[in-house]
Structure 1
Amino acid sequence: MGNTAKIVLVAVVAGALGVAASLLTNGPGPLLKTEIGQRAAQSVLSATAPPTPTGLKVAKRSEPVPAFALSGLDGQAVELPKAYAGRPLLINVWASWCGPCIEEMPELQRFHAEQGANGVQVIGIALDDDAAVREFLKKIPVGYPLFLDAAGPADAGVRLGNPKGVLPYSVLVSADGRLLKQRIGPFEHGEIAEWAKQ
């Protein structure tokens, strides 16, 4: 083995040890905040997830999001992502019993309020029952549209590329309906705007 190969090997091993040490001391949080970390987490979760129901269409990065319908709190059915075509769309999958989901709701609301008529649209999909969501909204109101779905092997989160059902889970959909980004875990203060850039 030549000197150059030894130097490269030492650098790779040192880098891997540095990442491992960081994960041991800081947990996966800092890594999960990066696009590379999110892609790695998605790969691991997808590889260890149970098989999806036969015939279920699941969104894949850079491909069109398969259409599915959900009802809003008003009881009206909406086809996603078609109903929000023409502008980028941030879809956040959450539940009223999920602590990290609750913590990020004010950030999602703040981002939604900053976007105005031409920015990124925000919607939430609660894997929860109607009564629990309405009770939750009395404590933490939001101004963006909310939809309901029952948690399970074919729920909206699974359809959007989250086969393990980890919450909260967010995706960014392009104006023409393609899945651009996926995020496992909550957004912290100030993170959404940078993440939602295409």
Structure 2
Amino acid sequence: MQLFKRFVLITMIFTAVYADEQRDIMLPNLSVKLLDGKQVRLSALLEEGPLLVDFWATWCAPCKKEMIFLEEFHKKYNEYGFRVLAISTDSPKSMSKVKSYIRAKKHTFMVGLDPNQEIAKKMNALLMPTTLILSKDRKVSWYHQGFIPGDEKEIEAQIRTVLELGQEKEGE
């Protein structure tokens, strides 16, 4: 048990340091295949405003919990040009599950497909979920791995920061 606690602590420290290193990195202008079959470039998605990119998989329970909030943020901040792109890293064999899951949950944000994890590797997103918030100039303004209850508050705070909206007061 002691060894497990040390492992968790070391992982948390590494993630915090690594996440800080990801700030202000400019990402390449990647192309993503969407669930509807269209190809879209990162730069095209960023023309209207900042973008939250979330790497997830159908087998990932924390990913599914986070997606509830991503849908909420997608709807709440869409009028400010903010978008959500959830990129599935499911294996090629599991891609059919992605469409079924998104339909069943009625998510309205964009869903990308990365069955061979090529994009995930380029974005250092091999742990699920990995969430990045990109500014209009393709810079990573926030990077986070994992999801536990309460993380949604930090995600929303980071969205509001990149949109330059200031922070909401309790009850707003």
TM category, shorter: 0.7 to 0.9
Q: Which one of the candidate residues 116, 127, 134 is aligned to 1:151?
A: 116
Q: What are structure 2's unaligned runs of at least 5 residues?
A: 163-172
Q: Is the 8 A contact 1:96 1:133 kept in 2?
A: yes
Shift, 1:122, TM fit: 1.0
Gaps of 5+ in 1: 1-22, 47-59
**d(CA) in 1 for partners of 2:72, 2:16:** 26
* Match in the other structure for 1:114: 76
Task: Give the distance between the partners of 2:30 and 2:89, measured in 1 at CA.
Answer: 15
1:73–1:130 contact (8 Å) kept in structure 2 = no
Report the CA distance shift for 1:102/1:90 in structure 2 as closer, same or farther (over 3 A). same
In structure 1, what is the equivalent of residue 95 of structure 2? Answer: 130
- Cα distance, 1:38 vs. partner? 4.4
Q: Aligned-pair distance for 1:187?
A: 5.7
Tell me which stretches of 4 or more aligned residues in structure 1 moved more than 6 Å.
none
The alignment-based identity, stated in percent, is 23
Worse-matched range after superposition: 143-152 or 129-138: 129-138
In 2, the alpha carbon distance for the partners of 1:156 and 1:141 equals 25
Q: Tell whether the 8 Å contact from 2:49 to 2:81 is kept in structure 1 after alignment.
A: yes
C-alpha distance in 2, partners of 1:138/1:82?
A: 25
Indicate yes or no: 2:35 matched with 1:70.
Answer: no
Whether 2:146 is the aligned partner of 1:181: answer no
- Is the contact between residue 82 and residue 177 of structure 1 (CA under 8 Å) also seen in structure 2? no
User: Aligned partners of 2:38, 2:112: CA distance in 1, in Å?
Assistant: 9
Aligned to 1:94: 56
SS at match of 2:97: helix
Per-residue Cα deviation, 1:33-74 (whole angstroms, up to 9, x for no partner): xxx87432548xx9xxxxxxxxxxxxx531321111121111
- Name which of structure 1's ranges 100-109 and 73-82 shifts more when overlaid on structure 2: 73-82
